[in-house]
Structures are given as structure tokens and as C-alpha cells.
């Protein structure tokens, strides 16, 4: 094996239970280094193992060298903890973080000897379930799943294993178990779907009292996020109209700063990590940020532990705090204006002005930085050439600001990365009805930008585009037909599609053709506002009327305030959830 540590288990803090009433395999359909960096899986590993009689173990998608070895040796895919073949578990639970890992789910099932489709499984096969952000449009993956968990998993996963335990003890059939599961809030059982099915997303209300990762596993090999990760807040109040996470994790729920401090101490001491990071969608908006950040930096630094703030806006108050600035210096300075003109930033509700960006850049340059990263998207709804050229214009202004400073006051040369991705319309956003811009037009806009940014001193343009964006758009807004396409693509050898070196556009094209459709039919499709959507039967709490209102406001270029300032009523009148954080 290229990296045996991906499969051997035995890591510090991993949990091995020889006896258990219910065996749950937590499966991540990508390689170990990515899966072990996923905080949600770490939380569930702890929550499930903390339950009496439940053993939760892990497995990750085997890299091609391991897949080859398993096939040649006629061995089954196994868990890291006890090396038990996955087919012997009671439950196989997949985390769905991005659509382009779907073929790996089929690979893992097949290597486990478990029939791919739920309809083909018998009483002795494990219950196959999934959850995670992609589950909010379950249809492209539904035929492969016995149940889909929609929303926060902590409580739902426990209710599910308790139901499995009871069903086993009472000798009930799988069908009876699925009927019981389908009555749980947030659980979708595809085989029991009717025209009336409505799945309401599950949330944990009090994040502060919700269990966290316990004693986290320390891997033997470097993983993507190799540090203690502390979730300070779930949800985001900013309401960027393209952002699925911003809508589907509402309302904002926070952990108290004392709890975060407590967790930081406990997790550092039981892992030996020398770095902690404060995670959320937008840590700068955490209501106790000004209290927590200086405190945690001070205390952690005393123990030679550094603090990373990956999603922190460098606002003026924090910028005045030297200890914070030093931390940010290490992490690098990033801005995400997302669009090049104010008009388009208003359309997407990115409530940030050019003045904000210029001021933050100027502050940073004066504090001695010379590296900055800017994130944009191309292909956003209503985008024109002027908006594309606006990206280069903004980069030019930032560069001019840097070089206008006296040489002795600024860093040596500016290093500005302008990173441009392609817009992908996502379900449960204000742009869910929009078509994705066709690949040729995206390439033309990229070239336009490339030409315009050429003379900008210190700027480096990085355009991320491949046919992958089209597939991502197709699967994120797809229907049940795509399940058949997915299986064909898997049979044609597609695996690890998110990895450039493994992505096979030719095989995908063939798979779509086998079913008489094209990826573009899905990606470039604009839905009529009153047309039924494949994900309409899922209720993510933010109402469709609210998304519609946001879409209409976007058309008029009207912004919607951050809901910490004013409740915008995104849950409608049906829910009593108090989404405001005092």
C-alpha cells in the first residue's frame, strides 16, 4: 500500500469494543486523510461509542491500490477498529459532504459484499443509511439507501441505534424496523415514500449542551486538518444567496465561550496536539468572539499551543488586537468578495462594500502583510462582462494601494492570489431555480478575466474549472434518474471523482448517454418558479416562500440584512424556533 496507515487503525484514542449489541460502521466515502478531518464524523463517533451496547467503528474509501489488493485477494472491506468485514455490521452510515464522492459509496458497498440497491438487500444485510449536507436532496442517492438522515445527526443517530437494538432483541423484520424509523423526525425511508411524504429537518437546539468529540483520535499520518477542531457555532446569519450552508444550518446556535475554553483544555491534554482551530461558517460573527479569541490565544500560547482562526473576518476591533493579528498572519489573510462589482455583490447579498475590502487590505498592508487571497465566483446569476472585469479592477486597486505605500513601510513584493471558482446552483438557496452557465461561456469569461488581470502587479489568477462543476450541478439538483446514471458511471470505473487525476469525464458522458440524458440537461436547467422540485418533499425549515422572496429581491438588487440585526422571518410562521442569538 502507498499509505498503510490509512487502514491499520489502532490510533491514539480510537475505541475498540469487543462486545456490542449494535455495531455501527461510520463510513466516509473519500480517503482517510479527508475523512478523518471531518468534524461531524468525529462527533458521531464519540456520541455513538458513548452509548451503552453500541460499538462505532470507521472505514474510508480505499485508494485504488487498496481496492486492487482487496479484489485480487478476494477480501472484504473492513473496519479500522476490529478489522471486521463491513457486511457483518448492523448499520453502515455514510457521511455525504459533496456530490462527487457518490461513486465511492457504491465502491465501498460492493467491496463489502453488500447489494448496492436497498431493494436488493435481505434481512441479513446491514441497514445502509446516510446523512450530511448533500442529503438535503436525497433523490440521486435514495435507491441505494435504507434510510436518509436529514439535519443534525447527534440525536437522530442515537434514536436510530436504539431502534435497531430493540428490533434485534425482539427479532423484528427489517420492514418493521424501517416503519419505526420513518416515524422519527428527520428520517427519510425511500422505500416507504408516498405522495404525502414530508421530511422535516432535525436540529439540535442547544449546541452548548450537545456532546462534542470526546477524546479525539490522533492519526498516524498527516491529515488535511491535523489539529484540535472546536466548533464554536453552527449556522450563519449573513444570508449570502448562493450559499447552501448558510440556509440549511439555520438557526445560528452557539457554544458558550467557557464551554469552548473547557473543550480546548480537555482536547489538547488528551491528544497532545499543538494547534487548535475555532470552527464555524463565520467565526468573526460568533457573539463572544472578542472575549474568546484573546483568552484562548493567551492561555494556549502559555502551553505553546497555537490557535487557528480559519473563517475569521479581519474586522477593525480584532485587527487592533496584536495577538489576533499575529495568529492571522500565520494563517494568511483571505477575503471572499465573491463578485467583482457592487451590483453583483448586492444580487448575491454579500453585504461587503469595496470600501470594506480596501480598508481591510490597507490595515493589513500597514501591519506588514504582503500576502492576500481573494475568492470570487464566475457564472453567478445576472453576471455580465462588466462584473467579470470588475474582479480584475478590484485586484488592480488593491495592488495600487499596496505599491502606493513607501517602500520601507510595506512588505517586499505583493503576493495576491485571485482564486475564481464556478457557480453551482444548490437546492434550498435563493438561486435553486437558476441555470448554471454553460462550460464554453464560463471559459470565455475566464479568458476575459485572464486578459484583464494580466498587467496587475503581484496578482496571480487561479481559475478552477472543469467538467466537474457541471456534474456537481447535475447531482446537487438531480432526481432519481441520476441514481441509474451513478450506478452506470461506477460500473464504468468512476471513483474518486473529486480528484483531478481520477476524474473520467468520458466515462461519465457514457454513463449519462446510457440513460438518454446529459449532465447539461440538469446543470443548465432553469426551473420555473412554480415548478415542483425534486427536493420539495424535504422541509429544511427555511420556507420556499422565503427563498422565493430572496430570489425576487436579488433580481431587484436589494440586499437583506444580517439576521442578527433583524429577524427576516425565514422559517415563516410555522415554527416556534427562536432563531436569534442574544
**Which cell numbers hold the place of 141?**
442517492
Residue 236 beta carbon to ligand SF4: minimum distance, rounded to whole angstroms: 3
Question: Residue 156 or residue 579: which is nearer to ligand SF4 going by CB?
Answer: 579
Question: Residue 60 or residue 242: which is nearer to ligand SF4 going by CB?
Answer: 242
Q: Tell me the DSSP string of 203-235.
A: --S-GGGS---SS--B-SS--SS-SEEEE-EE-
Is residue 344 within 8 Å of residue 390, measured between CB atoms?
A: yes
Tally of CB atoms within 10 A around 404:
10
Question: Residue 78 or residue 335: which is nearer to ligand SF4 going by CB?
Answer: 335
Residue 555 beta carbon to ligand SF4: minimum distance, rounded to whole angstroms: 19
Residue 449 beta carbon to ligand SF4: minimum distance, rounded to whole angstroms: 21
Smallest CA-to-CA distance from 84 within 37, 126, 144 is with: 126
Residue 282 beta carbon to ligand SF4: minimum distance, rounded to whole angstroms: 5
Distance between CA atoms of 9 and 4, rounded to whole angstroms?
A: 10
CA distances from 114 to 68, 105, 144 (A): 18, 11, 10
Question: Residue 95 or residue 429: which is nearer to ligand SF4 going by CB?
Answer: 429
Question: Residue 337 or residue 439: which is nearer to ligand SF4 going by CB?
Answer: 337
Residue 454 beta carbon to ligand SF4: minimum distance, rounded to whole angstroms: 29
**Which cell numbers hold the place of 572?**
415563516
Tally of CB atoms within 10 A around 420:
24
Is residue 219 within 8 Å of residue 11, measured between CB atoms?
A: yes
**Which cell numbers hold the place of 320?**
487592533
Show Cβ contacts of residue 120 under 8 Å, excluding neighbours closer than 6 positions. none
Residue facing ligand SF4 at closest CB distance: 246
User: Which residue is associated with the grid cell 435497531?
Assistant: 164
Q: Is the dihedral of CA 340, 553, 282, 217 positive or negative?
A: negative
Question: Residue 243 or residue 456: which is nearer to ligand SF4 going by CB?
Answer: 243
Residue 245 beta carbon to ligand SF4: minimum distance, rounded to whole angstroms: 5
Question: Residue 138 or residue 246: which is nearer to ligand SF4 going by CB?
Answer: 246
Question: Residue 90 or residue 285: which is nearer to ligand SF4 going by CB?
Answer: 285
Smallest CA-to-CA distance from 436 within 518, 498, 374, 516 is with: 518
State the number of CA atoms in the 13 A half-sphere of 421 facing the CB. 13
Smallest CA-to-CA distance from 60 within 11, 21, 12, 19 is with: 11
Is residue 150 within 8 Å of residue 538, measured between CB atoms?
A: yes
Peptide bond into 251 cis (omega under 30): yes
Distance between CA atoms of 101 and 104, rounded to whole angstroms?
A: 5
Residue 295 beta carbon to ligand SF4: minimum distance, rounded to whole angstroms: 24
Residue 376 beta carbon to ligand SF4: minimum distance, rounded to whole angstroms: 13
Residue 190 beta carbon to ligand SF4: minimum distance, rounded to whole angstroms: 29
Question: Residue 290 or residue 564: which is nearer to ligand SF4 going by CB?
Answer: 564
Distance between CA atoms of 59 and 70, rounded to whole angstroms?
A: 14
Residue 310 beta carbon to ligand SF4: minimum distance, rounded to whole angstroms: 12
Show Cβ contacts of residue 400 under 8 Å, excluding neighbours closer than 6 positions. none
Residue 338 beta carbon to ligand SF4: minimum distance, rounded to whole angstroms: 7
Question: Residue 246 or residue 478: which is nearer to ligand SF4 going by CB?
Answer: 246
Residue 279 beta carbon to ligand SF4: minimum distance, rounded to whole angstroms: 12
User: Which residue is associated with the grid cell 494547534?
Assistant: 275
Is residue 49 within 8 Å of residue 72, measured between CB atoms?
A: no
Q: Which helix (H) or strand (E) holds 19?
A: none
Q: Is the dihedral of CA 420, 424, 427, 432 positive or negative?
A: positive
Is residue 481 within 8 Å of residue 517, measured between CB atoms?
A: yes
Residue 371 beta carbon to ligand SF4: minimum distance, rounded to whole angstroms: 22
Interface residues with ligand SF4 (CB under 6 A) are 236, 238-240, 243, 245-246, 281-282
Question: Residue 236 or residue 312: which is nearer to ligand SF4 going by CB?
Answer: 236
Residues listed for the chain: 582
Question: Residue 107 or residue 280: which is nearer to ligand SF4 going by CB?
Answer: 280
Distance between CA atoms of 498 and 501, rounded to whole angstroms?
A: 9
Residue 244 beta carbon to ligand SF4: minimum distance, rounded to whole angstroms: 8
User: Which residue is associated with the grid cell 451496547?
Assistant: 53
Question: Residue 423 or residue 490: which is nearer to ligand SF4 going by CB?
Answer: 423
Question: Residue 282 or residue 327: which is nearer to ligand SF4 going by CB?
Answer: 282
Is residue 312 within 8 Å of residue 280, measured between CB atoms?
A: no
Amino acid at each position: 500500500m502507498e499509505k498503510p496507515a490509512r487502514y491499520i487503525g489502532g490510533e491514539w484514542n480510537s475505541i475498540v469494543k469487543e462486545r456490542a449489541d449494535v455495531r455501527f460502521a461510520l463510513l466516509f466515502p473519500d480517503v482517510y486523510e479527508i475523512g478523518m478531518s471531518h468534524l461531524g464524523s468525529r462527533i458521531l463517533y464519540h456520541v455513538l461509542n458513548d452509548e451503552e451496547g453500541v460499538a462505532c467503528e470507521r472505514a474510508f474509501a480505499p485508494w485504488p491500490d487498496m481496492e486492487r489488493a482487496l479484489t485480487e485477494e478476494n477480501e472484504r472491506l473492513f473496519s479500522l477498529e476490529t478489522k471486521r468485514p463491513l457486511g457483518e455490521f448492523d448499520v453502515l452510515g455514510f457521511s455525504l459532504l459533496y456530490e462527487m464522492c457518490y461513486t465511492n459509496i457504491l465502491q465501498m458497498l460492493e467491496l463489502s459484499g453488500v447489494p448496492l440497491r436497498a431493494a436488493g438487500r435481505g434481512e441479513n444485510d446491514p441497514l445502509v443509511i446516510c446523512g450530511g449536507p448533500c442529503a438535503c436532496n436525497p433523490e440521486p442517492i435514495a435507491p441505494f439507501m435504507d434510510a436518509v438522515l436529514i439535519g443534525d445527526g447527534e440525536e437522530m443517530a442515537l434514536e436510530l441505534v436504539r431502534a435497531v437494538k430493540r428490533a434485534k432483541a425482539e427479532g423484528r423484520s427489517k420492514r418493521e424496523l424501517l416503519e419505526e424509523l420513518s416515524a422519527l423526525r428527520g428520517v427519510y425511508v425511500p422505500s416507504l415514500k408516498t405522495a404525502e411524504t414530508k421530511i422535516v429537518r432535525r436540529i439540535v437546539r442547544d449546541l452548548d449542551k450537545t456532546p462534542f468529540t470526546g477524546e479525539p483520535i490522533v492519526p498516524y499520518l498527516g491529515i488535511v486538518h491535523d489539529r484540535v477542531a472546536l466548533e464554536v457555532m453552527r449556522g450563519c446569519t449573513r444570508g449570502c444567496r448562493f450559499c447552501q450552508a448558510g440556509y440549511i444550518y439555520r438557526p445560528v446556535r452557539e457554544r458558550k465561550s467557557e464551554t469552548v475554553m473547557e473543550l480546548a483544555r480537555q482536547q489538547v491534554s488528551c491528544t497532545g496536539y499543538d494547534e487548535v482551530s475555532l470552527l464555524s461558517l463565520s467565526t468573526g460573527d460568533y457573539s463572544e468572539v472578542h472575549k474568546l479569541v484573546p483568552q484562548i490565544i493567551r492561555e494556549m500560547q502559555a502551553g505553546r499551543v497555537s490557535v487557528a482562526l480559519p473563517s475569521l473576518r479581519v474586522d477593525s476591533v480584532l485587527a487592533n488586537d496584536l495577538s489576533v493579528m499575529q495568529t492571522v498572519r500565520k494563517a494568511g489573510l483571505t477575503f471572499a468578495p465573491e463578485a467583482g462589482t457592487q451590483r453583483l455583490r448586492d444580487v448575491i447579498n454579500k453585504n461587503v462594500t469595496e470600501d470594506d475590502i480596501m480598508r481591510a487590505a490597507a490595515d493589513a498592508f500597514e501591519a506588514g502583510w504582503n500576502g492576500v487571497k481573494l475568492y470570487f465566483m464566475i457564472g453567478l446569476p445576472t453576471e455580465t462582462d462588466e462584473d467579470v472585469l470588475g474582479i480584475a479592477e478590484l485586484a488592480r486597486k488593491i495592488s495600487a494601494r499596496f505599491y502606493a505605500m513607501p517602500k520601507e513601510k510595506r512588505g517586499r513584493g505583493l503576493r495576491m492570489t485571485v482564486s475564481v471558482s464556478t457557480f453551482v446552483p444548490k437546492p434550498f438557496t435563493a438561486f435553486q431555480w437558476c441555470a448554471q452557465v454553460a462550460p464554453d461561456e464560463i471559459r470565455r469569461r475566464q479568458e476575459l478575466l485572464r486578459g484583464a488581470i494580466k498587467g496587475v502587479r503581484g496578482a496571480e489568477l487561479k481559475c478552477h474549472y472543469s467538467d466537474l462543476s457541471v456534474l456537481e450541478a447535475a447531482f446537487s439538483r438531480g432526481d432519481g434518474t441520476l441514481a441509474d446514471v451513478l450506478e452506470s458511471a461506477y460500473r464504468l470505473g468512476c471513483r474518486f471523482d473529486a480528484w483531478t487525476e481520477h476524474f473520467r469525464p468520458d466515462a461519465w458522458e457514457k454513463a449519462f448517454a446510457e440513460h438518454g440524458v446529459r449532465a447539461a440537461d440538469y446543470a443548465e436547467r432553469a426551473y420555473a418558479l412554480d415548478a415542483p422540485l425534486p427536493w420539495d418533499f424535504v422541509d429544511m425549515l427555511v420556507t420556499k416562500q422565503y427563498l422565493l422572496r430572496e430570489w425576487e429581491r436579488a433580481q431587484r438588487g436589494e440586499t437583506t440584512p444580517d439576521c442578527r440585526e433583524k429577524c427576516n422571518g425565514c422559517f415563516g410562521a410555522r415554527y416556534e424556533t427562536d432563531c436569534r442569538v442574544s
